[in-house]
Each structure stands twice: as C-alpha cells, then as structure tokens.
Amino acid sequence: MTRHLSNAASGALDYAAYPAIMLAATPLLLRHLGVAPYGIWLVANAAISVGSIVSSGFGDAVIQRIAVLRSTSDKIAIRSVIANMLTINISLGALLALVLWCIVPFVSGRITHHDPALETSCIWSLRVGSVLILLKSIESVFISALRAFEMYAPAVRVSIATRLLTIAVSVLLAARGHDITSLMFATAVVLVGGIAAQWKILQGLGLAPLLPAFDRNVVLSLASFGAFSWLQAIAGVFFSQADRLLLGLTLGVSAVAYYGVCVQITQPIHGLTAAALHFLFPHLSRHNARGDHATMRRAIGRAIKFNIALSALLTAVVLLFGQRFIYLWLGHAFAAQSSGLLPLLGAGFGVLSLNVAGHYALLALGRVRLVAALNLAGGVAMLVAIILLVPRIGSAGAAWSRLLYGSVTCLAYLPIVLQFSLLSRTQFATVTTVAEEA
C-alpha cells in the first residue's frame, strides 16, 4: 500500500511540477525576453509537446508488455521490448522532426508577421525544437519502462530535475541577453542529461545494453496494442483543443479567452486524477498476466473508491475557489464574464475524471480497442454537441459538451463489471462441480 501511495503521489507531482515552475518563471522570462520572443518560445514548446505526444503514442504498449513479462521475470524479453520500442519511437520521432524542419520556413513568417528581427530566431528555435521531438521520443521509452516496473519515484525525480534545470538555465540565459535559439539549445543539452539518467536507472535493473533493435515479432506484438493507444493519443490532442477551435470560429477570440482560462483552471481535475492513478495500469497488467483475478477485482474496487473520492475533492476545490482565483489573477471584469462557465467546466472535467480507474483497468485487461473506441465516441459526441449548442446558448454550449464527453467515457465500467461477473460465475460453477465429484 505504501508503494502504491508513493507511486500515486509521484504521478501527481510529475503532473503538477511543470505548470508550477512555469508560473514562477513566466514573469522573469517576459521581463528579459520581451513579449514577442516569449511568444516564439511558447510556440516552439507547444510544437515540441504535440510532436512528442504523437511520436510517443506507443508508450502504453511498452508498459503493458513489460508489466506482463515481469510476471515471468524474463529480462531478455523485457530488454527486447525496450530495444524495439526505441526503434519505433526513433522512427516516428525522426519523421516528425524532419517534417517540422522542412515546414518551418513556411510557417515562421506567419508566426512573426514577417518581422526580420524575429523570423530568423523563430526558424532556428523551431528547428532545434524538431531535434527535441526526437530526443523526447527516446526519453518516453525509458520513462514508460520505469513505470512498467512500478518505479515512479525515480522517473519523476529525474523528470522534475530536468524540467527545473531547463527553466532555470533558460531564465539565466535570458537574463544575460541570449536569444530564443540559445535557450532551445540549452534545453536540448539538459534533456540529453535527463535521458542519460533514465538510461542509467534502467541499466541498474540488469537490462543493459539498451540499444535500438528490430525484431518483427516483437514489433508486431507492440503494434497490436500500441496502434490503438497511438490513435487515442492523437485523438486526445485533437479533442483537447477542438472545443476552443470551434468556439473561436463561431463566437470569436474573446469568447475563447474566457473559456480557455476556465479550462486551464478546471482541466487539472482530470489531469491530476489520471496522473495519480497511472500506477494502476502496470500493477493490474502484472496481476492479469498471472491470472490473479481475485486480487485484480479487489484492486479495481479500491481504485474506483479512491478515484471517486479524489475526483470529488478536486472538483469541490475548483468550484469553491476557482472563481476567486480568477478574480485575484485577472480582475473583476474577467471573473464576471467567466462566472457561468467555471461551474459547468468543473462538472465536465469532474465527470471525465471518474473514468480514470476504468480506463486503466481496461488497458490492463488488454481492451485497448474498446478504450480507443470510447474516447473517439466521446470526442465525436462532444463535437456534435458543440456544433448544435454553441449557436444557441453560446460558450455554455461548449461547456455542456464537455460534460457529455466525460459521460460517454465512463461507460468503460460496464465491460469491467460484465467481465468479472462472468469470471465469478465460472469460478463458482467450477467449485460446485469439484465439490459434487468429491
């Protein structure tokens, strides 16, 4: 239990650390860089974030496969999974990096409005960013492997140290008058150090050497699970932004500003819950591989209770203090305009966070296709609702649509209940037959 609490706390800390660091660093970066260069830095980091999510979408396949192999202590097979995953991620990361490198000259002018002083800096910042996408695709393999071993604390320590050092170096360079490109190069150097630290931890588990490899059977095994988790990752990137895009097209950028701030405040309800409960995925996968269904049933039951309690707590905190925070942060006028949106979005992300335990349980049971289908169905339902509701009731329509998205994903619990009900009946029938024969 202590280990599970440690893993949960580590996951939540990993999620919360970067926003907290950025909140402290933003005033300093704005002061030393200026508004426009800071905007370029944000764009470059956003491109890296999206690119790394897409290139690392197979991460769940690594966690599931290694967790299963841990039940047999087959370190040779585990090493093979990591080596082949490195090949997959490096290939995807290199492809995305090449695409970004090539399109940078065409998009940088639009980003900087063809300001010569900014355009060159933008081009090279994004090109260094393309290299960072490749590096992050490698890092994600090592992080997923450590999570599969249920070693969240070491992975999080390295991750937070890397992020903290990256921001600290960026602030220091900006204070000394260096441009955005220098900050991006420094980020790459720090990230290489973080990757080396993750690699060293895995070596300590007896998994050396960890080098890219290609085994057709292993790749196909990873792809059978990973293709759907990759599809879900891409859909997640799209659906997380789609409401704001459609709102902007329908009501304009001012509506997006009020809505977007409310999303920033309410989104952590789901994000923190998902991060805290992520340890369930490798933990349940290992028990499923052993056929230990009684332990799984108990673990899922406890996880659901914890999920409900944590979701309720986070939702209550946001609903009670969110509006006050907006008032202190952005002033009375902004708070007044967003007052009707915050409760709806808080409820929407609260309902979405209730699916977390079911989401990880289904992944552990190998039902990744069903998980992807539920998320796609929820996303499509949300988009249809936005199109129908926003013209009638404005921004509140988008907020109500978020509530629909969460409700659809909570259907994940139905197949879990059905599967364990069938297992219970089968086990009861087996015990009865044995007793009668005796």
| Amino acid 359: pLDDT | 92
What pLDDT sits at residue 414? Answer: 92
Q: How far apart are CA 323 and CA 165, in angstroms?
A: 33
The vertex-62 CA angle with 57 and 68, nearest 5°, equals 145
Give the contacts of 133 (CB within 8 A, at least 6 positions apart).
47, 48, 51, 52, 55, 93, 96, 97, 100
- What's the one-letter identity of residue 249? L
Higher pLDDT, 375 or 35: 375
Measure the CA–CA gap between 88 and 60, rounded to whole angstroms: 13
Query: Bigger pLDDT: 359 or 427?
Result: 359
CB-CB contact of 93 with 134 (8 Å) = yes
- Mean pLDDT over 169-184 rounds to 90
- Over 60: is that where the pLDDT of 152 sits? yes
Distance CA 130, CA 55 (A): 12
> Is the per-residue pLDDT at 218 higher than 50?
yes
- The pLDDT assigned to 253 comes to 62
Whole-angstrom CA distances from 64 to 61, 204, 223, 291 are: 5, 21, 12, 15
What average pLDDT does this structure show over 302-312? 93
Is the model's pLDDT at 254 over the cut of 90? Answer: no
Asked if the model's pLDDT at residue 435 lies above 70, the reply is no
Mean pLDDT of all residues in 9-38 = 81
In the predicted model, is pLDDT for residue 324 greater than 50? yes
Does the reported pTM lie above 0.75? yes
pLDDT on residue 424:
55
Mean pLDDT of all residues in 14-34: 81
Residue 315: what pLDDT? 95
**pLDDT over threshold 90, residue 411:** yes
For residues 325-351, average pLDDT: 86
Q: With 0-12 CB in 10 A as exposed, 13-18 as middle and 19+ as buried, what is 254?
A: exposed
Per-residue pLDDT band for 269 (boundaries 50, 70, 90) equals very high
- Flag whether pLDDT at 422 surpasses 70: no
Residue 428 has pLDDT above 60, yes or no: no
> Which segment of 81-95, 205-219, 259-273, 412-426 scores lowest on mean pLDDT?
412-426
If we measure between CA atoms, which residue out of 93, 104, 95, 89 comes closest to residue 143? 89
pLDDT band at 87 (very low <50, low <70, confident <90, very high): very high
**Per-residue confidence at 229, pLDDT binned at 50, 70, 90?**
confident
> Residue 421 — very low, low, confident or very high, per pLDDT cuts 50/70/90?
confident
Q: Half-sphere exposure (CA, 13 Å, Cβ side) for 403?
A: 13
Percent of the chain residues past pLDDT 70, beyond the cut: 95
pLDDT of amino acid 1 = 59
In the chain, domain spans: 1-214, 226-438
Residue 150 amino acid letter: E
Q: What is the mean pLDDT of the chain?
A: 85
pLDDT at 190 over 90: yes
Q: How confident is the model at residue 20 (pLDDT cuts 50, 70, 90)?
A: confident
Distance spanning both ends of the chain, measured CA to CA: 39
Q: What is the pLDDT of residues 201-217, one digit of tens each?
A: 888 887 777 788 888 89
pLDDT digits (tens, 9 = 90+) for 352-362: 999 999 999 99
Give the model confidence (pLDDT) of 57-82 as tens digits. 788 888 888 888 887 878 888 899 99
Confidence of residue 242 (pLDDT cuts 50, 70, 90): confident
Query: Which of the four pLDDT bands, split at 50, 70 and 90, describes residue 90?
Result: very high
Q: 190's torsion region: left (phi>0), alpha (psi -120 to 50) or beta? A: alpha
pLDDT band at 84 (very low <50, low <70, confident <90, very high): very high
129 pLDDT above the threshold of 80? yes
